[in-house]
Structure 1
């Protein structure tokens, strides 16, 4: 697995401002690319399948945003901190899915939010295999930065403590997501 930088944030969004993590890992899917549909997988993923992709995964469901866009609601606990992610589909192509969330996090010092961009993509390796990329970026929202400031916690210290947990989580879930996408592709 390798680290890469592939996500495209909206043009008016400055990811460098208070970026917490930017991690990307790849895994092989043993299925032809024409059998893979990432939005179909993400928006029909059974909760038990989501839970099987990481011990940190608690619950998953789907709904719609107020503007009618599809949403994936994921609950996970990373580093002892529960998160509720409200992923809104911003790009939904068969082989490229971008989900954007202002996620609730529940810290010992109160509830706050972080911004998470989750990008999934596949590209053909050959006619029977694909490379899956799981790219996650997160950054502190103004609300989150204010919470750290009230506590006297420097952002750089928080980031240094949070990054290893978030990166390890992404690294461990990537091959399990790939296996789940593979199972869905082979069922089709």
Structure 2
């Protein structure tokens, strides 16, 4: 899928809490909707459920670059300091509905005994459905990628410090 990659962006922020108090999956799968909304003006709604196979799932609704996205993030790695989620997300554009594959990776590593570095990495890939959707409109994939990247990268950059602050608050409650 690398040839269909749209974005690979990663940003980091400091969490003022010891790593032993941080549990990213617990934070993610119990994040109140208002807390999620407070992490970006583009965040509309969030919830959690399970996939058909019983894996935990985070449902996020947000608007990025003028497109409404419904993300169905399924946990593929769930460690206290490292969470990887994959989603075949629905994208609602002015020209119709399509899908995009998104991998969301959150991790922390200790800086010292009182602080951690949080990293928020988002990778997105065009699905076959999206490639066909773009082709029907006469939009070259490279043009779409070039136009999509700035909005996606800016979104990730803006939400990263706010996610870090939210994880920090959760860690303090875990103390």
SS in 1 for 2:3: coil
Equivalences, count: 174
1:49 correspondence with 2:28: no
Q: Distance in 2 between matches of 1:186 and 1:112?
A: 40
Q: CA deviation at 1:29?
A: 0.0
1:184 correspondence with 2:170: yes
Q: Distance in 2 between matches of 1:109 and 1:72?
A: 27
For structure 2, list consecutive stretches of 5 or more residues without a partner in the other structure: none
SS in 1 for 2:150: helix
The equivalent of 1:167 in structure 2 is 153
1:118 correspondence with 2:104: yes
Q: With structure 2 as the length reference, what TM-score do the two structures score? A: 0.99
For structure 1, list consecutive stretches of 5 or more residues without a partner in the other structure: 1-13
The list of structure 1 runs, each at least 4 consecutive aligned residues, that deviate by more than 2 angstroms after superposition, is none
1:129-161 deviations in Å (ceiling 9; x for gaps): 000000000010000000000000000000000
The equivalent of 2:91 in structure 1 is 105
Q: With structure 1 as the length reference, what TM-score do the two structures score? A: 0.92
* RMSD, aligned α-carbons: 0.5
